[in-house]
Copies of this chain bind each other. A is one copy, B any other.
Amino acid sequence: MKILIIEDEPALAQAMTTYLEQEGNLCETAATFEEAWLKSGVYEYDCILVDIGLPGGTGLDIIRKLKKEHKQAGIIIVSAKDSIDDKITGLEIGSDDYLPKPFHLAELNARIKALLRRRKFGGEPQIRFREIVVDPQKQEVLVNEMPIRLTRSEYALLLYFLANPNRVLTKESVAEHLSGDSADLLDTIDFIYSHIKNLRKKLMDAGAGDYIKSVYGMGYKWSVT
């Protein structure tokens, strides 16, 4: 297992290296994002640990870049910032876990293992439901083999339903899911009516079944009969 450690505090980097190598891994360290970028261009890593606290860039950029080049690598953010904002953004951007400082080396190790276990099984394949196939990679949806064009909202909606078949989803939770917004107080959630309608129409027009049932007073359900 090859691990890249991006960390500018030499003592910590050293400690991490020592511990993780004891566990049977091979580690490299980089003290700056530039160095990390160079190394990552040369080697393939299974896991990359990034301290987003270092100077020279927000640290989030590098994750995006790394994610692109090293699709197979798991990325774990390590950070002293306890700001939730950074946490969210890090995860959104494509890191796979977040470990706030200070942490026990044992926990770090556990997370690395968990991450790679997770990653091993199923690398986000297609999602299928009868005549509907969703390819999350390409953000493409096929109905009866024919591609249909969905807007971002419709796509998110469809995925949410497919992830929760036969389960009543409240209008509230649907609304939260759509408006990626940190959803403090959505004053109104009527907008989901529109999206529901549009998604229904596009699916039906393409010849798919009518799976979105409204549950009076509750919300909606992707109904599998």
Chain A interface (Cβ within 8 Å of chain B)? 57-58, 60-61, 64-65, 68, 82, 84-85, 87-89, 91-94, 96-97, 114, 118, 137, 139, 152, 163-164, 167-170, 172-173, 176-177, 180-185
How many Å lie between the Cα of A82 and that of B118 in the bound state?
8
In the bound complex, how far is the Cα of B151 from the Cα of A204, in angstroms? 34
Whether the Cβ atoms of A184 and B94 lie closer than 8 Å is: yes
Q: How far is the CB of A158 from chain B (nearest CB, A)?
A: 14
By the criterion CB–CB under 8 Å, are A89 and B58 in contact? Answer: no
User: Are the C-beta atoms of B88 and A58 separated by less than 8 Å?
Assistant: no
Q: How far is the CA of A184 from the CA of B64 in the complex (A)?
A: 8
Give Cα A164 to B57, complex, Å: 10
Q: How far is the CB of A142 from chain B (nearest CB, A)?
A: 19
In Å, the complex CA distance between A91 and B177 comes to 12
A185's nearest neighbour on chain B, judged by CB, is B68
Nearest 3 Cβ contacts at the A-B interface: A180-B180, A61-B173, A61-B170
Query: Can you sample 28 A-B contacts with CB below 8 Å?
Result: A57-B168, A57-B173, A58-B167, A58-B169, A58-B173, A61-B170, A61-B172, A61-B173, A64-B173, A64-B176, A68-B185, A82-B114, A82-B118, A84-B96, A84-B97, A87-B91, A88-B91, A89-B177, A93-B176, A93-B182, A93-B183, A94-B182, A94-B183, A94-B184, A137-B184, A152-B181, A180-B180, A180-B181
